[in-house]
Amino acid sequence: MTDLSAADVAPAPLGAPTVVVDGLHVKYRVFASGKATTGKMGERIPRTRGMREVHALKGLSFVVRQGESIGIIGHNGSGKSTLLRTIAGLQPATEGAVYASAQPALLGVNAALLNNLSGDKNVRLGALALGFTPAEIDERADEIIDFAGLEEFRDLPMRTYSSGMQARLRFSIAIAKSQQILMIDEALAVGDKRFRKRSEQRIRDMRDEAGTVFLVSHSISSIMDTCTRVLWIDHGELRLDGDPQTVCDAYLDSTL
């Protein structure tokens, strides 16, 4: 197995299982309106009077061990984000189960914040939601604001921020806490170039601290850079599971 692109990934020996996904099915009930979508999507979605069921994950099973960095690739709507949310326990499984050695943390940029409140207050609220104590927040708040590069704007309500600034603030709150099992959902694409560089570095640090990392991305190069194993999810099923080179090649071939 040649693994040219993962040169900066430590070749750590595989440890004990940290995440076990067992026959995982996830179905959403969606309250749909308007015309039914046609084509590919339409076939997958049985209609029942305005309410539809989306079978997002169809029986996934795999084992992840200590020290692995798992990349997850697939087309839009293939179930990647659903998989991450389910592993994090944020989306209940319809069937099957996820087992983990610690509470997996999902690093997203969509944490709900209050747009009428200042950046400072949002940092406080977001950090409390992450499980920081008020004393820890007093210590860390400046650091979070600095990381987001929003020192001058910390007193302004969040609705006055540009969308990039909002994303930066959310992301900075999300990465403030170290995690044992870390999942990153497309978060690398946040903010301007300078911020992206800083956050990539922070994610690499977090990956080194964390035992296990999952990364969802559409960027094959960042998957190849950071992952030791790749899962290709296709229409809610596990199409391929293996070393990054093989899986990414097969995925790229399929999209041609």
Partner 1 sequence: MTDYASLARDAGLARVGARPHLFAYLAEAWSRRAFAVTLASYRIRAANEENRLGLAWVVLGPLLNAVVYGVIFGVFLHTAPNNGPAFIPYLIVGVFIFAFFSDSFSDGAKSVIANAALVKSLSFPRILLPLSSVLQSLFEVIPMVVLMLAIVAVFGEPVTVAWLAVIPVLVLMTMFNTGVALIAARITTHFRDFRQFIQFITRIMFYTTGVFFSLEQYLQGDPALLFIARLNPVHDYIALIRWATVLHSPFDPIFWIIGSVGAVAFFVFGIVYFWAGEETYGRD
Strands 229-234 and 51-65: unpaired
CB-wise, 206 or 220, nearer to partner 1? 206
114 forms part of the interface with partner 1 (CB under 8 A): yes
180 forms part of the interface with partner 1 (CB under 8 A): no
CB of 2 to partner 1, least distance (A): 28
12 forms part of the interface with partner 1 (CB under 8 A): no
Q: Which stretch binds partner 1 (CB under 8 A): 11-19, 207-215, 216-224, 238-246?
A: 11-19
Q: Which stretch binds partner 1 (CB under 8 A): 22-30, 42-50, 143-151, 231-239?
A: 22-30
125 forms part of the interface with partner 1 (CB under 8 A): yes
Residue from 3, 5, 17, 240 touching partner 1 (CB under 8 A): that is: 17
121: left (phi over 0), alpha (psi -120 to 50) or beta: alpha
Strands 212-216 and 69-73: parallel
Rounded to whole angstroms, how far apart are CA atoms 232 and 80?
Answer: 9
| Residues linked to residue 238 through DSSP beta bridges, in sequence order | 233
101 forms part of the interface with partner 1 (CB under 8 A): yes
Which residue, 211, 253, 213, 207, is CA-closest to 232? 253
CB of 121 to partner 1, least distance (A): 6
CA atoms within 13 A on the CB side of 197: 2
178 forms part of the interface with partner 1 (CB under 8 A): no
Rounded to whole angstroms, how far apart are CA atoms 3 and 167?
Answer: 33
CB-wise, 87 or 233, nearer to partner 1? 87
CB-wise, 61 or 221, nearer to partner 1? 61
Judged by CB under 8 A, the chain residues 55 through 74 that form the site for partner 1 are 61, 63
Strands 47-48 and 51-65: antiparallel
23 forms part of the interface with partner 1 (CB under 8 A): yes
Rounded to whole angstroms, how far apart are CA atoms 183 and 163?
Answer: 23
DSSP structure string for 40-101: HHHHH--EETTEEEEEEEEEEEEEEETT-EEEEE--TTSSHHHHHHHHTTSS--SEEEEEES
At 220, list the tokens: 């094959």
CB-wise, 131 or 164, nearer to partner 1? 131
Judged by CB under 8 A, the chain residues 128 through 167 that form the site for partner 1 are 128-131, 133-134, 157
User: Total residues at the site for partner 1 (CB under 8 A)?
Assistant: 49
Binding stretches for partner 1 (CB under 8 A)? 16-23, 28-31, 61, 63, 85, 87-93, 97-101, 103-106, 108, 110-112, 114-117, 121, 124-125, 128-131, 133-134, 157
